[in-house]
Amino acid sequence: MVEEIRKIDYFDRKILFELDRNTRISATELGKKIRKSKQFVDYRIKKLEEDNILRGYVSVIDYSKLGYLSVRVYFKFHNLNPEEQEKLENELIKDKEVWWLVTLEGAWDVGYATAVKNILDFYDYWDKIMKKYRKYIINHSIVVYTHIRQYPKSYIIDKNNSDEGTLVGASKIKAKVDDMDINILRFISNNARASLLEIADKIKSSPQVVRSRLNKLQQSGVIQGYRALIDVSFLGYRYYKVYINLVHIDKLNELGQFCKQHPNILNVNRTIGGRDFEIELQAKSFEQFDSIMKELRSKFIGMIDDYEFVIAREEKKMVYFPFE
């Protein structure tokens, strides 16, 4: 996390936004969008990386297209000091099934998501976790993700979102992939800005073959997009996860459209076993968060019953391909 709020200019903001939309955009293409040279863009990206504002680049891979489902777990701990909790979190991060983990403030201490082929596989994993950590867990919550839709951080450039975003978890159809596809996915899962040549060297093939395979994986929906991991604390923003109960779902599409366009709302999630509707948003203060939620409730009077929220402290793991 960035300890001090760093001042950035228009060009930094535009670069961050474009990388969040499509992190595989070339420096030349990005330069055209901001009317600057490739060298300027390369320098700014390198500086943002050195300042740990750009923390990495991930490929958004739809695990459901590969025959997996995702189960989210929340834990509230007791009988743990901070050092022991951090050790437990790091042990969870090392689990091959875990593709996302975040520390939280509020009702829960940690949340994470696993990718498994079926619920019985999850129970095998769950028994292992309970055997190891049950004495430290005072409360837990388990839900199955059915839709995870993510949008770019449009607030960075002070504009409403118009991007369709990415969607994972919602496919009923398994895509056909072979070992070469799997090797490509494994490598680019957390190396999304790697060049075709770098990927080809890694999988012992040619750039032409890699380009063809990537196009196929994108067209089939296995690869939903490419995004940057951005530490927005340098802008003073915090991450809120909101769990909403609905009175009815008559205007569900309108609610989804409102969330899509709102610059601060970055995720819309649907689950089995959780609340009716979940959103994730970033705001500079609790007052801004509260204002966004009041705006949402006023737009959909009579539809939104109540909501709970937690604040994400730190995202410690995000990789869309932990399971092969």
Q: Helix or strand or coil: residue 212?
A: helix
**Number of structural domains in the chain:** 1
In a domain, 241, yes or no: no
Q: What's the domain range around 202?
A: 176-220
Give tens-digit pLDDT for 262-318: 999 999 999 999 999 999 999 999 999 999 999 999 999 999 999 999 999 999 999
Tokens of 206: 């040619």
Q: What pTM was estimated for this model as a whole?
A: 0.91
In a domain, 38, yes or no: no
* Contact predicate 223/23, CB 8 Å: no
Rg of the chain, C-alpha, whole Å: 20
Strand partners, 239: 282, 312
In a domain, 207, yes or no: yes
Which CATH number covers residue 198?
Answer: 1.10.10.10
Nearest CA to 273 out of 106, 157, 140, 136 is that of 140
In a domain, 206, yes or no: yes
Query: Given this model, what pLDDT does residue 65 score?
Result: 96
Give tens-digit pLDDT for 7-22: 789 999 999 999 999 9
Please give the helix or strand (H or E) that residue 123 lies within, else none. Answer: helix 119-133
In a domain, 112, yes or no: no
In a domain, 8, yes or no: no
Q: Which residues, 6+ apart, have CB-to-CB distance to 144 below 8 Å?
A: 69, 70, 71, 72, 119, 271, 272, 273
Going through the chain in order, the beta strands assigned E by DSSP cover 54-61, 69-77, 98-105, 110-116, 137-150, 166-168, 223-230, 238-246, 265-272, 277-283, 304-318
Q: Helix or strand or coil: residue 320?
A: coil
Query: Given this model, what pLDDT does residue 3 score?
Result: 44
Query: Given this model, what pLDDT does residue 106 score?
Result: 87
* Contact predicate 171/65, CB 8 Å: yes
In a domain, 183, yes or no: yes
In a domain, 195, yes or no: yes
Which regions of the chain are under pLDDT 50? 1-4
Distance, in Å, from the CA atom of 54 to the CA atom of 114, rounded to the nearest integer, reads 25
